[in-house]
A = this chain, B = another copy of it.
Amino acid sequence: MNNKIMPRKLAGFWELEPEKEMLFEEMIDKIKSVFAKHCFMPLDTPAMELSEILLAKSGGDVDKEVYRFTKGSTDACLRYDLTVPLARFVAANENNLAFPFKRFQIGKVYRGERPQKGRFREFYQCDADVIGDGELSLVNDAECVKLYKDVFDEFNLKGQVKVSNRKVLFGLAKALGLEEKFGDIAIIMDKLDKIGEQNVEEQLSEIGCSNTDAEKLIKLTKISGYEDAIEKASCLSNDEEFVCGLNELKNVVSYVRAMGLGEDDFVLDFGVIRGHNYYTGTVFEAYVDGCSGAVGGGGRYENLAEYFTDRKLPGVGMSIGMSRLFDYLDQSGYFGDEVKSATQVAIIPLGDTLLDCLNTCAKLQANGVKAEVFAENKSFKSKMKEANRKRASYALIMGEDEVKNCVFALKNMSTGEQESLTEQQLLNKF
């Protein structure tokens, strides 16, 4: 039989080896516990939506990248983010939900783009959003910032959230008569860190900003700090929108301070813009010390579900870049060496003791111990090797004499020490 099929997966699709997957799930569980403490509820939407729904507000790249297909009379797409499904869910259930509605979702999304380093066609998104009915307190914006802080604490990470408000830059642009061009301005200025001041000025001039205006805009984005930064910025304009944005920031700062965040944990930074024109108020990006690029971002949007309902549903949301966070945790040694194994106790029969091994294994498992019997027909030596390879914490060697005398020989696989225990001592050990 030589017509075998190459067992390959699709290019650009992520798949962790089981040892890494254990760690990834540990990370997910910890993030979930943070969302739970903040009273966010889980949502699990289908991976597919009707194309009419999914593409309602998209365009450009999304249309090109989306996986779309028909089956019978159904025209469907794989979701490319978790926000459109949230909008569909909230609009469909607007009369049954308690607002503000706080949900989180950790799920895979699909983008048929060219795979690149760090860019996948299938990847996890992790979003937490709060949706209000008509209006929504800025406390929720502050809570998004606090969520990052709690996630950082959960993983013993040092990090900082940079916070701004889109109304501030928009108000300044408006005061300069550049209101119409704001979409482009935001996209260009979001690249400041990447392409540098000169290139930004050039690109701004290409869309018709004067040098003086460009300098004023850039000046704003260089301001950072706390209450002092708000004061410093306030000299730049007295446009109504501008002032409103600064006042919102003032409130958000007072809320995050009340939540216990210190100046290590957050900073106002008018350089945070977020390319997405979706955002209309508070915007933020979360950074971890030592990790290049943001591990998350988000912000406030005016109206989640305008394509589906007349009801005004403002929201604010934060997201976490799961693969970036995981890679950082993994590489920085967060997961340590000790808990990497699925097997705590490898039970190794020696002689005719298989049934006794199974019995002991069941007792250990009943006590919550991750135990397994190495029952295959292999040599004792190869089983000990196997226990090592699986990084089992302990090997329990059960020979016929041990069974007869009810003695349990437990070997610590990292120190090599071996002790003799009674059954009760063994069960109490874990």
Instruction: Report which A residues bind B (CB closer than 8 A).
Output: 1, 4-11, 13-19, 21-22, 24-25, 36-50, 52-53, 56, 67-69, 71-72, 74, 76, 78, 87-89, 91-93, 96, 98, 100, 102-103, 108, 110, 112, 122, 132, 135-137, 139-140, 142, 146, 150, 254-255, 258-260, 305-310, 342-343, 354-356, 358-359, 361-363, 365-366, 368-373, 375-377, 386, 389-390
Residues of B within 8 A of A103 (CB): 18
A210 vs chain B, min Cβ distance (A): 36
CB-nearest residue of chain B to A104: B18
Q: Is the CB of A37 within 8 A of B368?
A: yes
Residues of chain B contacted by A386 (CB below 8 angstroms): 98
Is B5's CB under 8 angstroms from A18's CB? no
The chain B residue sitting closest to A42, CB to CB, is B21
Chain B residue at minimum C-beta to C-beta distance from A65: B71
**Known pairs A7-B309, A37-B365 / 5 extra A-B pairs, C-beta < 8 Å:** A18-B42, A21-B44, A139-B375, A140-B375, A150-B365
With both chains docked as a complex, state the minimum distance between the C-beta of A27 and any C-beta of chain B, in angstroms.
12
Question: Is the pair A7, B41 in contact by a Cβ cutoff of 8 Å?
Answer: no
A25-B135 Cα distance, complex, nearest whole Å? 31
Q: How far is the CA of A284 from the CA of B68 in the complex (A)?
A: 39
- Once bound together, how far apart are the Cα atoms of A62 and B254, in whole Å? 58
Query: B309 contacts A87, CB within 8 Å?
Result: no
A132 in contact with B36 (CB, 8 Å): no
In angstroms, how far is the closest chain B Cβ from the Cβ of A336?
18
| Cβ contacts under 8 Å, A71 to chain B | 67, 112
A231 to chain B, nearest CB (A): 20
* Most chain B beta-carbon neighbours within 10 Å: one of A40, A56, A71: A71
Q: Is the CB of B15 within 8 A of A41?
A: no
Closest chain-B Cβ to A89's Cβ sits at a distance in Å of 7
Contact yes or no, A92 B8, CB < 8 A: yes
Smallest CB gap from A375: residue in B: B139
Residues of B within 8 A of A38 (CB): 365, 370, 372
Nearest chain-B residue to A100 (Cβ)?
B376
Asked whether, in the complex, the Cβ of B355 is within 8 Å of the Cβ of A254, the reply is yes
Most buried by B among A7, A15, A102, A305: A7
Chain B residues positioned under 8 Å from A56 (CB to CB): 5
Q: Is the CB of B13 within 8 A of A358?
A: no
Known contacts A7-B53, A21-B42, A260-B362; A13/B48 CB under 8 A: yes
Q: Is the CB of B258 within 8 A of A9?
A: no
| A8 partner residues in chain B, CB cutoff 8 A | 50, 53, 88, 92
Are the CB atoms of A47 and B47 closer together than 8 Å? yes
Could you say which residues of chain B place their CB within 8 Å of the CB of A6?
308
Complex Cα distance A193/B56, Å? 49
Sample of 6 A–B contacts (CB below 8 Å): A5-B52, A10-B46, A10-B49, A102-B342, A137-B375, A258-B354
Which residues of chain B are within 8 angstroms of A100 by Cβ–Cβ distance? 376
Decide if B15 touches A108 in the complex (CB within 8 Å): no
Contact (A342, B390) CB under 8 Å given A10-B50, A137-B376, A146-B362: no
Q: Kindly state the separation between the CA atoms of A69 and B363 in the bound complex, as whole angstroms.
A: 49
Tell me which residues across on chain B come within 8 A of A363, comparing CB atoms: 260
- Whole-angstrom distance from the CB of A48 to the nearest CB of chain B? 6
Question: Are B42 and A362 within 8 A (Cβ)?
Answer: no
- Chain B residues, CB < 8 A from A135: 376-377
